[in-house]
Structure 1
Amino acid sequence: MRNWILSGMFLLSSGAIASGGHGDHGGGHSPKVPLSWEILGSQDLQAGMVRFEFRLLDAKTSQSLSDQDLVDTHEKKIHLLVYDKSLNEFQHVHPEFNGSRWSVDLSFVKNGDYKVWIQGQTKAGVDFNLSNNLKVSDGEPAWPLPPGLKDIRSGGDGDSVATLNNQKISNGQMAMLDLVLTQSNGQPSEVTPYLGAFAHVVAVPEDGSTLIHVHPMEGAVPNKGMLHVTFPKSGAYRLWIQFIDRNVLRTVPLSVKVN
């Protein structure tokens, strides 16, 4: 199983050049490569269903990269993640290459400023993790700011519950967090792999500037896993826990404080 752990050495701010990011469990570097991406159309979007299109480019030659230039990472060529500045809205989708560009449908309900990331790996073994900004209008009022996250280690979506242990987390040090998945009635979740992993965990600091995407290891029992993750700086982080319970994809928001 391939784990993407984006710690301090891997994190990229908006518009950065890809320099590694989807390392194997325990870290590791990918060679630097000049990749960039070009969003096609306006970055000012209207709320509703949006066809989002872009090109992935070799920044030196401006040559467009197709699906033939990439390998599958957790069963997909590209993972695209979107969240708003309040860290309430979240999407994790998978663009497809249509012969000239990458495209995917995104759904926006709330107005506001959004961050969008694309992640993947080239056939040459180079990981990329690139971001950009979007603005959404003509929808429901934006969530209030700032996020004001608290340490909330257990939460649910009405049917399933995700719980992290209360281990103290220090910046720059790998944390080992037990992840327990249950049904809302307290019974163990019926977990099956999601994109080749026990679960997917995306973590973002309150300022939204960086992103961690990691995959917990399976535990001794089917509904428990172990999350190894390094938070590069102190402060509050939003976590989105994604897993399949009873054949339904669940997305549970939690938050942690990092000392």
Structure 2
Amino acid sequence: MNTGVKITAFAAALAATFGTAYGVGKGVGPVDEPAKATHGEHAASKPGAESGAGGHAGHGEGAANAPAAGGLQVSDGGYTLAMETPRPAAGASVLKFSIKDAAGRKVTAYTTEHGKELHFIVASRDLTVYRHLHPVRAADGTWSTPVDLPTAGGYKAFADFKPAGKNAKGVTLGVDLSVPGAYAPQPLPAAAPTATVDGYQVALGGTLAPGRAGELKLTVSRGGKPVTDLEPYLGAYGHLVALRDGDLAYLHVHPNEGGPGPDVSFTATAPSAGTYRLFLDFQHGGKVRTAAFTVHAGPGHATGPASTDSAAHDAGGHSHG
């Protein structure tokens, strides 16, 4: 892919939610404690992004200026995420669902974005398991995808899509899943400057501030050497999903130009103070890998770079549908 190829927002509403991503910019240091936003500062997206309906406006520093978070509602904009398998078994299983319109009909016409009509995310409530899936749609509008959910407990599924139509806007819906069995929630990994996955090291720098845009830059290396030949995955050199600890508010951005590495840069605005878990998908050597990070934003939080631990392979596991 030409490094100057422009990648449009995965969903315009989400681009407005978590800031509009852009290509690699100047180098930045470790994630710093953000300065308090002044009156009038706000998380405006870059030109071309549209504001979408949100779920939760957030509280605390910057809340008045922050865009709403997404994925907190099962129904929004006249669409509903209807799960046919709300209680999948632990281990390998198949998830089935549909998107229904206001009349209760299964939607069968979508706008293709980044090679897919719909993108599907599943994460555990403790944010230690993360799956970015690509389900297949049957003619009647039923979607299905294999998934591996290793432990019992609560999960949340997100459907990210744009219906067909000239004036259609991107929609993100969220629904709870329950995997039966004995459940022992894991603690959220502590913040640290780097994550390691399959022998790759990913360093995170920049600022995540509530209600104010800041740059997040992720740098990929392997064996101490920068990776300068990242491969396009769904039309981009990196995809970033952030989930807010507690309610699992969904935020998703990715670069619109730049690459092919080692740096991937995003502009991000947290909708509220709090703790966020970041998941970066990148492809190299024909395989998609996910680096997972923990970031704190806002007052009362020791804002710092992201982290991963020995469980990062599960936390950042990337399944394909």
TM-score band (shorter)?
0.7 to 0.9
Residue identity opposite 2:254 in structure 1? H
* Paired residues for 1:1-259 under 5 Å: 1-4=7-10, 5=15, 6-7=17-18, 8-9=67-68, 11-17=70-76, 33-41=77-85, 43-59=86-102, 61-66=103-108, 69-100=109-140, 101-124=142-165, 125-138=168-181, 142-145=184-187, 147=188, 149-165=189-205, 167-219=206-258, 222-259=261-298
- Range with bigger deviation, 127-136 or 186-195: 186-195
- Range with bigger deviation, 130-139 or 69-78: 130-139
User: Identity rate of aligned residues, in percent?
Assistant: 21
Which structure carries more strand by proportion? 1
- Range with bigger deviation, 183-192 or 156-165: 183-192
- Per-residue deviation, 1:96: 1.2
Aligned to 1:163, the other structure's residue is in SS state: strand
Inter-CA distance 82–184: structure 2 relative to 1 (3 Å threshold): farther
- Post-superposition Cα deviations, 1:78-135, rounded to whole Å, max 9, x if no partner, equal 1000100111100001111112211111111111100100001111232110010011
Provide runs of 4+ in structure 1 moved above 6 Å.
none
Higher relative contact order (CA 8 A, sep 6+): 2
Any conservation in 2 of the 1:151–1:236 contact (CA below 8 Å)?
Answer: no
Distance, in Å, in 2 between the alignment partners of 1:48 and 1:157 is 21
Unaligned runs of 5+ in 1: 18-32
- Per-residue deviation, 1:234: 0.9
Distance, in Å, in 1 between the alignment partners of 2:110 and 2:80 is 14
Distance, in Å, in 2 between the alignment partners of 1:48 and 1:237 is 26
Any conservation in 1 of the 2:274–2:297 contact (CA below 8 Å)?
Answer: yes
Aligned to 1:122, the other structure's residue is in SS state: coil
- Per-residue deviation, 1:220: 6.6
Inter-CA distance 231–173: structure 2 relative to 1 (3 Å threshold): same
Q: TM-score, normalised by structure 1?
A: 0.84
Distance, in Å, in 2 between the alignment partners of 1:252 and 1:105 is 22
Unaligned runs of 5+ in 2: 1-6, 19-66, 299-321
Residue identity opposite 2:74 in structure 1? G
Distance, in Å, in 2 between the alignment partners of 1:188 and 1:40 is 41
RMSD: 1.9
Any conservation in 1 of the 2:230–2:259 contact (CA below 8 Å)?
Answer: no
Residue identity opposite 1:11 in structure 2? G
- Per-residue deviation, 1:240: 0.7
Any conservation in 2 of the 1:14–1:133 contact (CA below 8 Å)?
Answer: no
Distance, in Å, in 2 between the alignment partners of 1:150 and 1:3 is 30
- Range with bigger deviation, 185-194 or 119-128: 185-194
Distance, in Å, in 1 between the alignment partners of 2:193 and 2:75 is 31
- Per-residue deviation, 1:177: 1.7
